Chains A and B, each alone.
Chain A
Amino acid sequence: MAVNLMINGKATEVDADPQTPLLWVLRDHLGMTGTKFGCGIAQCGACTVHIDGVATRSCQFPLEAAEGVKITTIEGLSADSSHPLQKLWVEFNVPQCGYCQTGMLMAAAALLDEIPNPTDADIDQYVSNICRCGTYTRVRAAIHKAADMMKA
């Protein structure tokens, strides 16, 4: 089934089974591999994208639901890695293996869009992604710093 998608501001047509998770549409059918496969059951958040601005785990979001919504992936978070979170992730040396970090960034970006000055509890709630390398303390610090920078 051909489905028209709007991804990172660009219209794209995909022909795939309507039940195919958006994750695999992005990765396999469109070659956009920045969105990662971690668990397949919306537990880990490695596949987080924005659907109409809301952080969404794309492994449980079927293609048929993706028509008519605005999809933003890590490739579209900024054109040139200039999102404050991306800059701070580098400055704070946040990632270790880095695999979960695009999902972390997308979750954190959606958080800051909704709550510009988040508390620790807000971060706990919105950024519940799994990082096996244990970067949580740096993720938290970078989100707080980004909130400060974006206020200024």
Chain B
Amino acid sequence: MNEIKTTRRNFIISSLALGGALVIGTRAQAAIVDAEPWDLANPAGSVEFTPWLTINADGSVIVRATAVDIGNGTLTQIAAYIKEELDPVWDQIKPQYASTNRDYLEENVYSNANVGGALAYFSGRSTGPARMDTYMQVAASARERLKAAAAAAWSVPAGEITITEGVLNHASGKSSGIGEFVQAAAAIQLAEEPKPKDRSEWTFLGKKHPGKVQLPQIVNGSLIYGVDVIVPKMVYAALRQSPVMGGTLKSFDADAVKSMPGVLAVVAVKPGDNVPTDLKPPFPFGVSTAQHAVAVIAEHYWQARTALDALPVEWDDGPGAQWKTTQQMNNAAIAALDKPGEKVEVSTGDFDGVFKAARKTVEGTYLTPYCEQAPMEPLNGTAMVTPERVDFWHPSQHSQMAYMVAADETGVKPENVFFHQTFVGGGFGRRVFSDDARMVVAVAKHFPGRPVHVIWSREEATRQGRYRPLMAGRLWAALGDDGYPTALQGRVSGGPGFFVSGINDTAITALLPNVQIESQTVPFHILTGPYRGPGYNSNAFFIETFLDECAVAAGVDPMEYRLQIFGKWADIGWAKCLNEVKAKSRWGEALPKGQGRGVAIANWGMGGKADAGTTVATVAKVEVSKEGVLKILQIDLAFDTGRIVNEDAVRTELEGGTMFGLNMAVNEGLNIKDGQIVEGNFDEYPMLRMADMPAQINVHFGGLSDNPRFNEIGEPPAGVIGPAVGNAIFQATGTRIRQMPFRTQDMSWS
């Protein structure tokens, strides 16, 4: 547990209706779950106990979120912390997004190093220890102040007062809603700040599993995503970027479309047209660089789209056009494996000597293609830029990055940039780097004074991604007389931005005495970025397919092989997960010809250490027809996050992450022709649908180790389902699948 520093600033108490934020000249900028997603000040009569927590006169509670809810339930999670410590009425807890502008003005009030710092997600993940303790501590502090205020009014000891469902109670019969005492509580100075409850005292966390707080607004269509933003005087823009990444805009003929209905302007965007700030962004600004682009601005979106399609545009493709075909790029990535990698990631023991002496070795070469995150809400955003001020409404995955990018693009002072986080129609990593945020602002600044709502077409979003990198991997193992590996060598290669995590820092590399992992960058022009389980989503496929090949070479059952290897690992979660899926999937029961089971196990986030990250073991049962048509019959998985706080939230993420990883493995792969991405829409880039899924994804809880951590859950399942299915295909057909997507591989048998 992190120690919480209760600095003076963390406990500023404002009994004014509009709070400390107003005093220093900002408005609270926030999105709310059940209203328009911006511009909410503290309500009249409320008290802001800390920037994280405001209690209103009616007893409702505002809690502020930094980690954006992309469907993973962060808003619900922080509401649950407040419920545990303060016990307001559940429906009266109102999560809002914290203001990035305020964070800037108040010296990282939400993102300072004590509470998580500027991390991959604004101020850290919702179940990280820093976040969890912060929320619980501020709620506990508010609870004790309310009790002290009521105790003074009722002339009873504070220790005899309880708060239940938003009501202060005393055995004497005195009773009052918490809202009535907020002003008095604000004036209370506690002799000592309370600590968050110990886990053994929890009555809500780990016991209840509330559904997401925004569900009522989702099911009636009233939830406001970025694309739903409508502000007065708004216009729309349709966007086209250089078809070859890195290419430049040669010319366009605006006159050809200017008289089309509704058309207001045609504008060009180019990189380096920004007005840099000295802000220190969570990621280097370089990852958000704009590509050359042209946009048509019109009164209505369809007018903009129609005019853009009619706009004559000439591009200079630049050096990226040298990559004529997908095969050429695949070959280049695989060729890079033929020589030692430029970088040695890990080197332990005498791997060279062991290989030379080995009587049996195994080798496998694997490939994963570029993949697009394809969130269902196409990229978009709405910005109004003037020389003095920026207002920006956007479905970001990282509101702080998007806020800073808006300042960096326009040169408007950060204190005059107002970023309004909206709900997000899927993230999966696509909306982290904020290249989309920059493009929106870059277009809007050419049409100042009116809000410009830029919407990517699906084709534009698919072809202008920041993709899961194309990666190749080759692995070699020396097997001992018992068939188990004694040394491991691996090489991975990919375009700029590829990741080695998941292969250089996983259990097998830590367990074996003789290991070397090397990497090599190949000069591809395609831009890459985070995609659910970065690095891991390729590397878990490489290493878990390879381990299966080792088991076959050793003549050992693949489940027993892994149990033998990972049974020796210091983290008991690995063996627990394997044993759980072994039992629950009926591993070993005979199957008809053409069916098979496969297993894979991996860990997201362990960083080479035991008792860290999240381990997932998945067993897939598949059927492959003689013609080679794959059907998934059953999926069983077990996991170890250490501990969990919301069983159903964990279950949904494991179901969803498994489906995401399954689609990645079976369906996804972008092709390149003359430097351009070929696929544009879901007719060319297929997605699993209801008919493709087994009726159930069986999530089992018997792998949990009870290690004191609440680790991440969204990304871990995405890495293991692919190799589990690939290994099952081998059992069913005898064909080893070494390349994604599987649908391009011949699985027919006779």
| A contact set with B: CB distance below 8 Å | 16-17, 20-21, 24, 27-29, 31-41, 43-44, 46, 73-75, 77-78, 81, 86, 89-91, 93, 95-102, 105, 120, 123-125, 127-140
Can you name 29 A-B residue pairings with CB atoms under 8 Å? A16-B300, A16-B302, A17-B303, A27-B301, A33-B221, A33-B227, A36-B225, A36-B227, A39-B681, A41-B458, A44-B682, A44-B687, A93-B212, A96-B72, A97-B375, A97-B376, A97-B377, A98-B218, A98-B223, A98-B425, A101-B219, A102-B218, A120-B695, A124-B691, A129-B689, A134-B658, A135-B652, A136-B688, A140-B695
A-B contacts at CB below 8 angstroms, number: 181
Asked if A130 contacts B218 (CB within 8 A), the reply is: no
- A28 CA to B298 CA, complexed, in Å: 12
Asked if A98 contacts B71 (CB within 8 A), the reply is: yes
- A123 CA to B690 CA, complexed, in Å: 8
Q: Is residue B659 within 8 Å, beta carbon to beta carbon, of the partner chain?
A: yes
Asked if A132 contacts B374 (CB within 8 A), the reply is: yes
Asked if A37 contacts B682 (CB within 8 A), the reply is: no
Q: List the 6 closest pairs (A to B, CB-CB), nearest first.
A: A34-B221, A134-B659, A99-B425, A97-B71, A96-B71, A98-B218
Asked if B425 contacts A36 (CB within 8 A), the reply is: yes
Asked if B682 contacts A73 (CB within 8 A), the reply is: no
Asked if B376 contacts A99 (CB within 8 A), the reply is: yes
Q: How far is the CB of A32 from chain B (nearest CB, A)?
A: 8
B658 to A, closest residue via Cβ: A134
Known: A133-B71, A136-B689. A37 touches B219 (CB 8 A): no
- Main SS class of interface, A: loop
Contact flags (1/0) for B448-460 with A, using CB distance below 8 Å?
A: 0000000101100
Asked if A21 contacts B655 (CB within 8 A), the reply is: no
Which chain B residues numbered 243 to 279 have a C-beta less than 8 Å away from chain A?
A: 261
Asked if A136 contacts B693 (CB within 8 A), the reply is: yes
Q: Which residues of A sit under 8 angstroms from B157, Cβ to Cβ?
A: none
Q: Which residues of A sit under 8 angstroms from B550, Cβ to Cβ?
A: none
Q: Is residue B86 within 8 Å, beta carbon to beta carbon, of the partner chain?
A: no
Asked if A37 contacts B227 (CB within 8 A), the reply is: yes
Q: How far is the CB of A61 from chain B (nearest CB, A)?
A: 13
Q: Which residues of A sit under 8 angstroms from B695, Cβ to Cβ?
A: 120, 137, 140
Asked if B219 contacts A81 (CB within 8 A), the reply is: yes
Q: How far is the CB of A146 from chain B (nearest CB, A)?
A: 12
Asked if B220 contacts A37 (CB within 8 A), the reply is: no
B299 to A, closest residue via Cβ: A28
Q: Which residues of A sit under 8 angstroms from B485, Cβ to Cβ?
A: none
Q: Is residue B484 within 8 Å, beta carbon to beta carbon, of the partner chain?
A: no
**Given A17-B302, A90-B219, A137-B655, list of 13 further CB < 8 A pairs?**
A33-B228, A35-B221, A38-B377, A41-B458, A44-B687, A75-B221, A89-B219, A93-B648, A97-B70, A97-B376, A102-B218, A133-B659, A136-B659
Known: A93-B648, A99-B426. A38 touches B691 (CB 8 A): no
From A16, A21, A40, A96, residue with most partner B Cβ within 10 Å: A96
Asked if A86 contacts B219 (CB within 8 A), the reply is: yes
Q: How far is the CB of A7 from chain B (nearest CB, A)?
A: 13
Q: How far is the CB of A122 from chain B (nearest CB, A)?
A: 11
Asked if B458 contacts A40 (CB within 8 A), the reply is: yes
Known: A36-B377, A98-B223, A128-B689. A134 touches B215 (CB 8 A): no
Known: A95-B71, A127-B690, A134-B660. A24 touches B455 (CB 8 A): no
Asked if B656 contacts A96 (CB within 8 A), the reply is: yes
From B427, B648, B689, residue with most partner A Cβ within 10 Å: B689
Asked if A74 contacts B376 (CB within 8 A), the reply is: no
A45 to B, closest residue via Cβ: B689
Asked if A90 contacts B221 (CB within 8 A), the reply is: no
Q: Which of B211, B219, B301, B426 is within 8 Å of A97, CB to CB?
A: B426
Asked if A95 contacts B219 (CB within 8 A), the reply is: yes
Q: Which of A17, A43, A46 is within 8 Å of B261, CB to CB?
A: A17
Q: Which of B215, B376, B426 is within 8 Å of A90, CB to CB?
A: B215
Q: Which of A20, A125, A132, A135 is within 8 Å of B375, CB to CB?
A: A132
Contact flags (1/0) for B580-615 with A, using CB distance below 8 Å?
A: 000000000000000000000000000000000000
- A21 CA to B457 CA, complexed, in Å: 14
- A137 CA to B378 CA, complexed, in Å: 24
Q: How far is the CB of B652 from chain A (nearest CB, A)?
A: 6
Asked if B690 contacts A128 (CB within 8 A), the reply is: yes
Q: Which residues of A sit under 8 angstroms from B221, Cβ to Cβ?
A: 32-35, 73-75, 102
Q: Which residues of A sit under 8 angstroms from B656, Cβ to Cβ?
A: 96, 133-135
- A124 CA to B695 CA, complexed, in Å: 11
Q: How far is the CB of B542 from chain A (nearest CB, A)?
A: 23
Which chain B residues numbered 43 to 71 have a C-beta less than 8 Å away from chain A?
A: 70-71
Q: Which residues of A sit under 8 angstroms from B428, Cβ to Cβ?
A: 132
Asked if B682 contacts A31 (CB within 8 A), the reply is: no
Asked if B425 contacts A90 (CB within 8 A), the reply is: no
Q: How far is the CB of A98 from chain B (nearest CB, A)?
A: 4
B229 to A, closest residue via Cβ: A33
Which chain B residues numbered 414 to 467 have a C-beta less than 8 Å away from chain A?
A: 423-428, 455, 457-458
B221 to A, closest residue via Cβ: A34
Q: Which residues of A sit under 8 angstroms from B225, Cβ to Cβ?
A: 36, 99
Q: Which residues of A sit under 8 angstroms from B70, Cβ to Cβ?
A: 97
